[in-house]
Structure 1
C-alpha cells in the first residue's frame, strides 16, 4: 500500500500545465489531420526525427471534400458546399488555437460542438470508438483552461493579477 501512496504522491506533483499541454496536443490532432485531408495549398515544414511535420496552408477545398459532404456527411442544416467550407476552415483554425493555447476555452468548445455534430449526424455509432474520448479531453480544456504553458496565460496573466 505504501508503494501506491508513493506513486500517487509523485503523480500529484505533475503540474496541470504540463498535463494541459499534452491534452491540447492530443485533442487538437485528429481534427487538424482531418482538416488537412479536405484542403489544397502550399506545404510548409518537413520530416523531423522521423515524423511528418508538414502543414498544408489552405488556399482551396479539394473537389472530393464537397463530394464527401454531398454523399456521406449529409448535414440537415447546411448545404454541402457551405458545410465543407465551414468544416475545413474550423478544422484548420480551431486545432491550431487549441494547440497554441490561444482562445483555448472557446476553441475547445468549438471542437466539442463539432464532435457532437459528427456524433449525431455523421457517425452515430462512433461514440465509444472515438467521440467520447475527444469530448472528454475537450471538456477538461473548456472547464480548466490551457494551463500556464499557453499563449492565453502569457497574454492575459496580467489581468489575473
Structure 2
C-alpha cells in the first residue's frame, strides 16, 4: 500500500513540489533580511559602548576585565569595537561595500567566539550564516553595491 495525497499524488511528489516552491524564494529577499538583521545586532552592541560620540569607561572596563583580548590594549580594543559595530552595520544597511563589511564583522565574530564567549557558538553560528550569505552571494538588488555594479557594467 502506498501513501498518497487526496488528489492521488504521492508524498514524494508533494515534497518535490514544496521544494520547488521554496526554491523560488528570491536571493534579494534573503540577502536583504540577512543584511538588516545582522546589522541591527552589531549596531545595538555598538550602542552599549558609547555615550554620544565617546566610548564609555564601562566599555573599556569590560575589555580589561571580561573580554581580555590577547595582544590588544583594552582601550584600543574598546574604541575599535565601537567603531566597527557602527561603521560596518551602517554599510550593510546601505548595501555599500557589503561583502567587505560582512567579512569584517565575520572576523569580529570569530574573535568573539574564540577569545571571549566560546560557549556561545550557536548564536555566533547564526550570525556567521548571515555574513556568509552576503559574502558568498552578494547583498542582492536592494543595495547600493548592485546599483554601482550596474552603472559600471553599462559603462564598460
Q: TM-score range by the shorter chain?
A: 0.7 to 0.9
Between Structure 1 and Structure 2, the one with more strand by share is 1
2:90 aligned with 1:90, yes or no?
Answer: no
Once the 2 structures are TM-superposed, how far is the Cα of residue 32 of structure 1 from its aligned partner? 1.0
Distance in 2, matches of 1:133 and 1:86, equals: 23
Segment of structure 1 superposing worse, 8-17 or 60-69? 8-17
> Which structure has the larger Rg over C-alpha atoms?
2
Scaled by the length of structure 2, the TM-score of the pair is: 0.86
Q: Identify the match of residue 142 of structure 1 among 135, 142, 145.
A: 135
2:90 aligned with 1:79, yes or no?
Answer: no
Distance in 1, matches of 2:137 and 2:71, equals: 31
Count of aligned positions: 143
Distance in 2, matches of 1:83 and 1:124, equals: 18
Distance in 2, matches of 1:89 and 1:158, equals: 30
Where does structure 1 differ by over 3 angstroms across 4 or more consecutive aligned residues? Answer: none
Aligned residue runs from structure 1 range 107-126, under 5 A: 107-126=101-120
Unaligned segments of structure 2, at least 5 residues:
1-11
Once the 2 structures are TM-superposed, how far is the Cα of residue 4 of structure 1 from its aligned partner? 2.5
Unaligned segments of structure 1, at least 5 residues:
42-58
* Cα shift readout 1:33-64 (whole Å, capped 9, x = no counterpart): 100111111xxxxxxxxxxxxxxxxx111121
Between Structure 1 and Structure 2, the one with more helix by share is 2
- 2:4 corresponds in structure 1 to none
Once the 2 structures are TM-superposed, how far is the Cα of residue 26 of structure 1 from its aligned partner? 2.0
